[in-house]
Structures are given as C-alpha cells and as structure tokens.
Chain A
Amino acid sequence: MPREAMDYDVVIVGGGPSGLSSAIKLKQLDPEINVCLLEKASEIGAHILSGNVFETRALDELLPNWKDLNSPIKTKVSKEKFLFLSKSKSLSWPTWLLPSVQQNHNNYIISLANLCRWLAEQAEALGVEIFPGFPASEILYHEDGSVKGVATQDMGIDKKGNKKENYEPGIELLGKVTIFAEGCRGHLGKQLIKKFNLSEGKNPQQYGIGFKEIWEIKEENHQEGMTMHTAGWPLDNNTYGGSFLYHAENKQIFLGYVIGLDYKNPHLSPFDEFQRFKTHPSIKKIIDGGKRISYGARALIEGGLQSLPKMFMPGALLVGCDAGTLNMPKIKGSHTAMKSGMIAAESIIEHIKDKKNLSIFEDKFKKSWVYDELHRARNVKPSFSWGLILGIIFTGIDQILFRGKLPFTLKHKHADHETLKPANEMKKIDYPKPDNIITFDKTSSVYLTGTNHEENQPVHLQLKDHNLPIKYTLEKFDEPAQRYCPAGVYEIQIENNVNKFVINSQNCIHCKTCDIKEPSQNITWVTPEGSGGPKYGNM
C-alpha cells in the first residue's frame, strides 16, 4: 500500500529548542511559508532533559518581547558556587576566579521542557503545524540523492513485524528543505552524517551522559536562584564529569550529574556514581528531608567545534545537537541550538526565494556568535584527557589568560566506544546499596519517568550481531550495557547455567547512550512506536 504524502515548504524533525526556533524564525521571515514539525514524544517537552541554566541571547534575538509573553523564564541566577569535592570535604572555588564562560549572573534557571512547550505555543500561533507522537523514522531521498523529506513510523506493528488490527501506515512528509533537529545522537542525523560523509576531516564526536533529578526540599535549605557546580569526588582524576545543583522556583532543586562517555573502566556505572555523589555531606545537607519527584537521563554532546560535522547537505540541514553545537565549558547548549536553528531558517528563506545554495548556512554560521563561542571553547574538553588537575590548570590559562584564543587546537583522539579497557585489567567498583531516601535503584527511578512503550511492537534497540553481547562483550568488558544504561534496559540473566542477554526495551528513556558507548557499535537505537518513551514534566 503506498503511503500518503503531504507537501510542505519545510519539514522539521524534532521539537526541541533548535527545531522550534527554526520554525518560529521561518514564519517570522515569511508568514506564508508552510512548516510542519514532528516530535516523537507524546507532547512537546516530554522527551527533553536539561539542567538548565539558560542564556537568553538567542531568545532575545528571536522573540525580543519574551518577557511580555508569559514565558516560563522567571528565576534569575542570584548566587553561584563552585566546589571541589574530596570524599568527605569540599573546597569552595571563588567565583571571580572562574572563567567568564562559567559565570551565570545574567542567566536564568529554567525547565527546558517548559521553555519548549512555550516556544511551541508561539510557533503554533504563527501557523506552524506541530505533530507530537509522530517519530520520523525514515529519510526519503530524491533520485539525485538529495533529501526529499521523512516518513513517520508505521503504527500498530506487532513484535514479529506483522500488522495489527489497528495498523496505521506512516505518512511521507516532503519538504523543499528538511531540518533535522533530533538532539544529541539523532538516529536520522547519524544516517545523514554517514551518507553525506559530513564528519570528514573532523575529530570523532564526544559525548557525555547527563542525569537529572528534581527534588522538593525543605524551605530552610532552599535559595531560589542559587546555582552550584562541583568537580572531583566520586569520580577519579581520569574520568571527566561533574555535578550541577540549581535552586528553581517552588522549593524545587534541579540536581544532576554529567559523566564523559570516554570513561575507560567498564565497571563504572554512571547511574551509581550519581547516586553516590548525593551522599556527599555538602549535597546531603541540601536534600535532607526532601523528596525526589523526578528522574531522567540523556546523552549530550561534548565534542565542540573539532567534532562538529558539516551541517548542510542537498535538501537538508542539521541543527542544534543533532550536529553538536553545545558549548562544553559553558555547560550550555540551548542558546547555541536555538541560534543554529534561526540561522537555518534565514538560510532556507534565501534558498527558496533567491535560489541560493544551502551552503550559505555554513557562511552564516561561521560569521555568527555561536561559531565564535564554540571556537573559544574548543580546547577545554580535550585538555581534560590529561586528567582533572592538568585539565583545570590548562583551562585556567586557556580561558582566563587567553580567552580561548590560543593559536592551536587540541584534538579528540578516540570515539567514546573505543575507550573501554578490558574488564580484567580494571578495578571493580563497589557501589553502596541504595537507601531509598537519598539514593535509589534504577527500577524505582525509571518509574518516576512515566516511561511506557506499547508492549506488542518490535524491539527498538536493534543488535547487529545477536551473539556478540554474550560471546564477546560479556567476556571482555563484563557487558557494560548493564551499567551505562540509566534505565536498566540491558540485563544478563542466567537461565539453566547459560548467560542470556535481555533487552527490556519498554524501559528505554531514549537517552541514546547504548548507541554511543557499545564497544563494537552493536546496538542501534531506532524510533519505537509514536508517543513511546518517557513522559517528563518540567525537566
């Protein structure tokens, strides 16, 4: 049965900050242009997870009157702290000694999910058609190889791939230009980067996994507007990562941890590092007597400019972290994602109206403040491959003395799936048991995400080689998927004395870590049936 097709001027894949900003900008530049936006979550914002301390620079340009539009940007940063942690002590680093990129006094503590919901309202008011619950699962190409659009996922397919009674075929959405704005490690973006060789001459992309919990804490421990970051314990000197703790409105704090996915020890469990981190006296005293109300995790981009692929190709653009525009030393990507989306919109208008080549995107991007930011930031993350202490010393020189203008660029040498050492060469890590007050297990955590996938559907975490997990990955790396997955999707179960690799795909919170970190790149994340996945509230 042929699929139905619908024609638009621009098709946008993904309802995050970059996709929504593209949509709004397109409509502002040309109210007549037809724009549709697809989102795999059940509603805009339900798959978004971010710290988030928000820099308004891009929003000031996009919607200068945002303060009058009842935006969810309310809590201005009023106090900042940076702590180095040892196992039981903390050392406070004076804020004036932090590089300016790490100072936040003009920024706001926000929920990115709520910002996206609000941006979606602005976009819809301008006439953008937004379809939540419809994952784009397939890229469509013209005969000449240029991108023609995307197809949405078929609905109502059973485990074995057969059509169920309520089968609903996908729809082809065709655009003069398609914008891919899926966020970090988008599964279509990954295909485009490969097909059009967009990473040629670039360093391998670098990723991290970020965890976030929302806590409602005691009034006396809450200071609305306060932000705190930490480095050090519980990670060792050779593992890149740190925490954030933001005091938002309504006695809530956004507490999170980011760990570079270039870690080497296969016994490391990012989830358990985060849980353990909360037992540090300087954190525990803040959340003591409080209640955890949300949990989530998502992979993020850390590679910066060296790893940023070419963002244009025939018929399509890659924006935000689908390409990788996050500014790592700033630990912020929302403003750069938004700006990249806005530049995409400007380029597309000129492409459609004045028949200019889409490559004008690159010229515009290079002249923009996003490029300048990313250029200054480029040497920070690679310097941490020398360890935390040397990384900090170098970053001080690079960011404070030279303001990111050192005349050389450090390289990222390895992709994250190449960094694990064999399990028998590395130290096992003994993580404490959860106390269910401050620290928790994965099951009760995933429960808070509201995650659900229609049970009778094909597994959306595909193995290239079904025997590899047991035959090789378990043997050599003690199957790290059991630990790097923040949702307990992967398990080794013993049945009749035989090891079995189990994929609980209905628990998947769409973080994409497995697709990134699996040592043989054996796991491919594809879109499940629409609306599946977490139902995050104000993440």
Chain B
Amino acid sequence: MKILVAVKRVIDYNVQIRVKEDGTGIVTDNVKMSSNPPDDNAIEEAVKIKESGKATEIIAVTVGEEKSQETLRKALAVGADRGILIKAEGTIEPLAVAKALQKIVDKEKPDLVFMGKQAIDDDCNQTGQMLSALLNWPQATFASKIEIKDKILEVTREVDEGLETIEVNIPSIVTCDLRLNEPRYASLPNIMKAKKKPLEILTASDLGIDIAPRVQQIKVEEPPKRKAGIKVASVAELVSKLKNEAKVI
C-alpha cells in the first residue's frame, strides 16, 4: 500500500501574527515558518502504518514556494520516502491545492491520502473534502483513530457530539486531528539521511492545472482590542452591569 501525505509550510504557531499596515495581508518577512501541526500528525500516522508492515511507501507532497522544501525534508526525516514540491507563489487556495493533489494521485496511484484537518494559517478546512470530490473517493475527516481492516478503513472522528466511528473503502482521503497521535522527533542521523532522499520539483503548468485564485481578498484587519476589565463592588452591581451594559442576561 502507498500513502500520499500532503503537508503545508505555515507561520510557526508560537509566532504572533501581525497584519500589514496597508491591510493587504499578514507580515511574513522575518517570521519563523514551520510545518502545519496537524500535518505532522498525518505524517506520523503514515509512518506508523508503514512500520506495522501495512504500507510500503510514503510520499510527502506540498504546494508552495521554493522554501517549502524544508517542510518536505522534515517529513522525510521522520519517515517519508520521497517528496514532491509543486512550486507556486502567492496565495494558493484550497481548490488549487486539491487540483494539484488530484494530478499527483493520478500519477502516483496511492491507496490513501492523508493530510491535516486544516492549516493553521487560513483555517480553511477544505482541501481534503475538495480532493475527495474531485477524485470521487470516500473521505474521513477529523480522524483521531485510524485502523486498517483489509480493504476498509475504520476511522474515529472528532465531532461536536463526541466521537463518531465510520468505515470507508480504500482508496480514501483522511484528514487528521491533533489527537490522532504524538508526532515523533526527527533524529539527527535521520535529518542527515533525509537530505539524500529524492525530492521532485514540479510546477502547476507541468501538471496542466490553473491555480489562479478564485476569491478576491478585500482587506485583512486585526481583531478589535479587548477592553481592560473592571472590578465591581458587589454581586448586585455585577448583575446590573451584565443586564444593562453587557446586555447578556
């Protein structure tokens, strides 16, 4: 079995996001970039499946600028076998990524496609679902547990009501939740080995797809600043303020 794992390079989750002064986007200069955290869970799960003998090859794929190679190298260092970078500049919308992944699936013919449930930069949570529609494959989203049963995948999903367990046929798409597993550390010798693993670089035009944005972004703004809290003297005052000023009761 072959597993394709899609990963994304995003601003590190510890970095405070700053909006550009002119409202055209967020500041990415001089900002630490990392791999999208739920994508790390997706890679980890694929590696675990391979270690259990149920998969033979893991391919990591990403769409993004030249430097996204770093994200692929990290995936290679924790156990992916080879990487594919589809080079693209600027805003790449989920539909464009899904189309690119569809082409890679056509070419590589994986049995499973894993990815994070969403990317922490745009929080779209769409790519897996769109890819599922384009390929006409079943999808299991927000996976917190995955079990392979022959040609069927049993997936536990994190849903609002609790946990939902479903079965999907293989081939299928799985988007991974942070609760799925604990990603391992890349060891130093494995980082060295990862530098020698194959990494193919393609462009959107190599794949014959149009990745131009379909959505026009009008403005990016910071959320309004939270006002400082106040101390109230009595319960009566609190209730009165909640009723008359905050109007929540």
Contacts and interface: CB of A to CB of B under 8 A. Distances in A.
B13 to A, nearest CB: 8
A4 B187 CA distance: 11
The listed residue with most A CB atoms (<10 A of its CB), out of B12, B29, B182, is B12
A452 B14 contact: yes
Contacts of B138: none
Contacts of B183: 166
A29 interface: no
A42 interface: yes
A216 B14 contact: no
A175 to B, nearest CB: 14
B30 A42 contact: no
10 contacts: A6-B188, A6-B189, A42-B34, A131-B188, A166-B182, A447-B16, A448-B16, A450-B12, A450-B15, A452-B14
A523 to B, nearest CB: 25
B189 A171 contact: yes
A336 interface: no
B30 A166 contact: no
B204 interface: no
Contacts of A164: 182
A447 B14 CA distance: 9
Given A171-B189, A216-B21, A448-B16, A537 B31 contact: yes
A447 B187 CA distance: 29
Interface residues of B, number: 20
A46 B188 contact: no
Interface string A3-42: 0101000000000000000000000000000000000001
B223 to A, nearest CB: 15
A171 B188 CA distance: 7
Contacts of B31: 537
B188 A134 contact: yes
A155 interface: yes
A450 B188 contact: no
A131 B189 CA distance: 10
Contacts of A452: 14
Interface in B171-190: 182-185, 187-189
B30 A46 contact: no
A537 B33 CA distance: 10
A46 B189 contact: no
B192 interface: yes
Contact of B187 (A113, A171, A537): A171
B34 to A, nearest CB: 8
B18 interface: yes
A56 interface: no
Contacts of B189: 4, 6, 171
Nearest to B195: A129
B54 interface: no
A451 B14 contact: yes
Contacts of B192: 129
Contact of A450 (B16, B21, B185, B191): B16
B191 A537 contact: no
Given A134-B188, A155-B185, A537 B32 contact: yes
Interface string B1-29: 00000000000101110100100000001
A46 B18 CA distance: 18
Nearest to A41: B32
A111 interface: yes
A391 to B, nearest CB: 36
A156 interface: yes
Interface residues of A, number: 30
A314 B32 CA distance: 38
Nearest to A168: B185
Nearest to B187: A168
A152 interface: yes
Nearest to B192: A129
Contacts of B32: 42-43, 46, 450, 535, 537
Nearest to A134: B188
Contacts of B30: 111, 113-114, 537-538
Interface string A190-216: 000000000000000000000000001
Contact of A535 (B14, B182, B187, B188): B14
Nearest to B13: A452
A158 B184 CA distance: 14
Contact of A152 (B16, B182, B188): B188
A165 interface: yes
A293 interface: yes
B159 to A, nearest CB: 26
A364 to B, nearest CB: 32
Contacts of B185: 155-156, 166, 168, 530
A111 B29 CA distance: 13
Interface string A234-268: 00000000000000000000000000000000000
Interface in A72-116: 111, 113-114
A451 B12 CA distance: 11
Interface in B32-54: 32, 34
A42 B15 CA distance: 12
Contacts of A111: 30
The 3 A-B residue pairs whose C-beta atoms are closest, nearest first, are: A537-B30, A538-B30, A450-B14
A535 B184 contact: no
A43 B35 CA distance: 13
Nearest to B27: A293
B83 to A, nearest CB: 18
A452 B15 CA distance: 10
A530 to B, nearest CB: 8
Contacts of A293: 18
Contacts of A6: 188-189
Given A6-B188, A447-B16, A450-B14, 13 more contacts: A111-B30, A131-B188, A134-B188, A166-B182, A166-B183, A166-B184, A168-B187, A171-B187, A171-B188, A216-B21, A450-B12, A535-B15, A538-B30
A520 to B, nearest CB: 33
A452 B187 CA distance: 20
Nearest to A111: B30
Contacts of B29: 537-538
